[in-house]
Structure 1
C-alpha cells in the first residue's frame, strides 16, 4: 500500500478472507494501545475469556464495512463480523461515531511492536480474577478451587450473548474406568475435562481474540436448555448428526451455524451475535471443543470447579513467531506458570507425560 519507510501497513482480515481491510500508520504512533474487557457480555459475544480492541488508525468514514454483519451488542455498541466465518473485525460506538475499534485477533502478525495492551476493564465480572491487573494475591489462593479435587458441580450452561445458542454441558460419568479407557481430554485423577490456551492462527481469526481457550466434551454430555430437555429433545450424539441438523436448519439448533475451515473441520458459531461455540473435526465424531467463555460457571469465568487448566503451556504458539504476538505469548506462558506455582497447583498429567517424553528424547 505504501513504500514510505516511516509508515507501517496494517491489515485486518477474517478467517475465510472474504473481508480484508488495510491502512497505514506512522511508525511513531506504534505500538497501538489496546484495551481488554473481561465483562460477561464480551465473554459471551466471543466465546473467549475477554475481548481486546484497539482503535483502527483510519477515520470511520473511510472504511467500507457494508459487507459485514452487525450485532447490536448494546444500545450504543455494535459488533461488525463476517457472516460466513464469524470473525469479528470492528466495534462501532455511537458515542464515538468517527472511530472504529478493531479486534486485535484479526490483525496480521507482521509487526514486532504493533500493539501494546495498556488497560483491563470489568475484571470484577470474572469473579476469579482472570488476567487481572491486581496483585498476584487477588483473589486469594484460599478462595480458589484448585486442581486436585473432583468437579464441584454436575453441569454448566453454555450460552452465547444473544441467547440463540443455549445448551448445557454435563459432567461425564467416568467412575470405575481405567486410565486407558478415558477420553484423551479427561484428567485421570479428577475426571475433569482440560482447558487449554490456544494460540493458533485459525482460532484467533475465527474469534477475533489473540489467544483462545477451549475445553472439551463428548457430545453425549451436551443437552439442550432445560425447557427443551424437559420435552425429551436430545442433542445430537455425533458430529455427523450435528452438522446435518444445522444444514437442515432444525429449529432446535437455534442460531447455531458453522464454517468449514477445512474439508474435515467445522467451526460452529452463532450466526446472530458471532460467538464461537464449537470446533469439530471428522476424525473425532463423538467429541467437540467447547468455547470456554460461553460457560456460566458459579465460581467464575475460568470455571475451575468444572475444568482442569493446563497452566504454563500454550499450544500452536509457533503460529505467533516473528510478529508482535510472540512476546505476548511468552508473557502468558510465564505468568500462567507463576500463577500455578503461587497457588500450589500441581502440574497436569499431560504436562508430566510431555516433559517425561522430552527428557527421554534428549537422553
Structure 2
C-alpha cells in the first residue's frame, strides 16, 4: 500500500505531492541535537524519508548545518521543508510541512509519526521534550544520549552509545547519565540561531513587566470554548511568584508549517526584557531576521540564513513576544527551567493538529516535567 501526502510551506508558494511506499504512521527517530534545535528553533526535529529529490527544493533556500546535512526552507516564510543527508544522498520531508494526507480526510485521530527512539538527548542536558514522548502508544521509545551505531546525521556517535534505561522514570534516566540540573543566578540568558546571525539576550522579570497587558493565550484558555478576554489584566506570563516566564507548546497549523515541525515551544517574554546583543532594545530588523505577516496583524520572525524560527508577535499585544525556546542557551538545559515555568495542562491549539496521536501523547507526557508553583 502507498500513501500520498501534500507538503507545503506556510506562505503556500512551495508545495509538493509526495508518494510513499508505505502507509502512515511512519517510523521516526526524533533528534534533539544542538544543530537541529538551533537551526529550527524547536526542541527536537524529525524527518520522514522520501524516495526522490523533491522538485520544490529548486525554489527553497539551502542551509548546510554541517558537512553532512543540508536543510531546505522557504526564503519567504522560513518553513523548513526538506533535509538532504549528503553521505548517502538521501532525502527527507519535515513532518510539520505535511499538511494533507490524501484519503484520510475524515479520520478523527490521525497518526502521522510513530516514534521509535530519541537521539542525541544528551545535548539537551535536561531531556528536552524527549522525556515527554518516551511513551508512545504501547511502545517505550528509548532515549539515546547520542545515536545508535549506524545512524548518520549532524554528529557521529562515540564508541557504542547505550540507551538511557527505559524502565526508570525519565528524570531518573537523565540523572543516571550524569546530566545535572544546574541552577544559575545570572541575570541574563542568551538566544542564538545556528548560523549566529540572530543574537539576543533576555533579562529576568522586573517591575517593567507590570506595564504589559495581554488577553489570555489559547494555551491557558482554549479559544474554541472560551473568551480570551482578560478584564482583570492578570499578568499570566509571570509564574513562580514573578520569578519565571510562562512557556508552553503549540500545535496550531501556523506554527507547524512555520517551523516545519509538529510541536513548537514558546516562552512568553515582554519585549522590554529582550535586548539585542549590544544591549539596545529589541528590533525586529536586527541581524539576519526576516519577517512575514503569517495572518492578519500577526507576525513571525525567522533567520533568513539558517531558517530558525525566532519570534512571534501581534498588534493585539505588541508588548509581549513569543520567543522560540529552541534557541535559548541556558546552562541547565534546553527547557531553561531556572527561567521558564512550563504549562503542562494543555498543548495550545491541539484541536488544530494534523497528527492528533502525537499531540495526545505529548499532552500525557508533559506531566513528566510538571513542577508545582
What is the CA-CA distance between 1:276 and the residue it aligns to? 0.5
Alpha carbons 1:157, 1:297 under 8 Å: kept: yes
Cα deviation, residue 144, structure 1: 4.5
Q: SS of the counterpart of 1:315?
A: coil
Which of 206, 229, 248 is matched with 2:258 structurally? 206
Counterpart-to-counterpart distance in 2, 1:182 and 1:145: 31
Residues 53 and 182 of structure 1: CA distance in aligned 2, closer, same or farther (over 3 Å):
same
State how far apart, in whole Å, the 2-side matches of 1:96 and 1:77 are.
Answer: 10
- Within the alignment, does 1:261 sit opposite 2:294 as a pair? yes
The structure whose Rg is larger is 1
Unaligned segments of structure 2, at least 5 residues: 105-109, 132-142, 144-163, 214-231
TM-score, length-scaled by structure 1:
0.78
1:27-64 per-residue CA deviation (whole Å, 9 max, x = no partner) reads x45432222111111111111111111102x322x634
Q: CA deviation at 1:118?
A: 1.7
What is the aligned partner in structure 1 of residue 18 from structure 2? 23
C-alpha deviation, 1:197, in angstroms: 1.1
Distance 2:208 2:112 in 1: 49
Q: What TM-score results when the alignment is normalised by the length of structure 2?
A: 0.76
1:71 aligns with 2:63: yes
Cα drift, residue 338 of structure 1: 4.3
Number of aligned pairs? 308
Question: 2-side partners of 1:63 and 1:122: how far apart?
Answer: 30
Give yes or no for the alignment of 1:153 onto 2:147.
no
**Closer, same or farther in 2 for the Cα pair 1:190/1:218, shift >3 Å?**
closer
1: distance between equivalents of 2:92 and 2:3? 18
Distance 1:152 1:310, change over 3 A: farther
The offset of 1:176, in angstroms, is: 11
Instruction: Tell me what 2:3 maps to.
Output: 8
Distance of aligned partners of 1:32 and 1:176 in 2 relative to their CA distance in 1, 3 Å threshold: closer
Partner of 1:333: 363
Whole-Å Cα distance in 2 between the matches of residues 333 and 222 of structure 1? 29
Residue number among 275, 284, 306 corresponding to 1:273 in the alignment: 306
Select 2:235's aligned residue among 183, 194, 199: 183
Deviation (angstroms), 1:77: 1.2
Aligned-CA RMSD value: 2.6
Q: Which residue of 2 aligns with 1:352?
A: none
Name which of 112, 125, 128 aligns with 2:126: 128
Following superposition, the deviation at residue 92 of structure 1 comes to 1.1
Q: 2:92 corresponds to which residue?
A: 101
Query: Residues of 2 paired with 1:319 and 1:124: CA distance?
Result: 31
Please identify, of 172-181 and 8-17, the stretch whose mean Cα deviation from structure 2 is larger.
172-181
Counterpart-to-counterpart distance in 1, 2:334 and 2:25: 29
Q: Residues 186 and 14 from structure 1, CA distance in 2 versus in 1: closer, same or farther, beyond 3 angstroms? A: same
Cα distance in 2 for partners of 1:278, 1:334 equals 27
What is the deviation of 1:190?
4.0
1:260 Cα deviation from its structure 2 partner: 0.6
Shift of 1:169: 0.7
| Deviation of the 1:101 alpha carbon | 1.4
Aligned positions of 1:1-363 closer than 5 A: 6-26=1-21, 28-56=22-50, 58-60=51-53, 63-97=55-89, 99-110=90-101, 111=104, 112-130=110-128, 131-132=130-131, 133=143, 134=164, 135-136=168-169, 137-140=172-175, 144=181, 152-174=185-207, 183-187=235-239, 189-225=241-277, 228-229=278-279, 234-236=280-282, 242=283, 246=285, 253-320=286-353, 323=354, 325-340=355-370, 345-346=371-372
Matched-pair contact (CA < 8 Å) for 2:11–2:76: yes
1:202-240 Cα shifts (integer Å, max 9, x gaps): 001101111110002111111121xx23xxxx224xxxx
Question: Contact 2:344 / 2:367 at 8 angstroms: preserved in 1?
Answer: yes
Query: 2 CA distance for matches of 1:176 and 1:156?
Result: 17
Structure 1 unaligned segments of length 5 or more: list them: 1-5, 237-241, 247-252, 349-363
Whole-Å separation in 1 of the counterparts to 2:233 and 2:58: 51
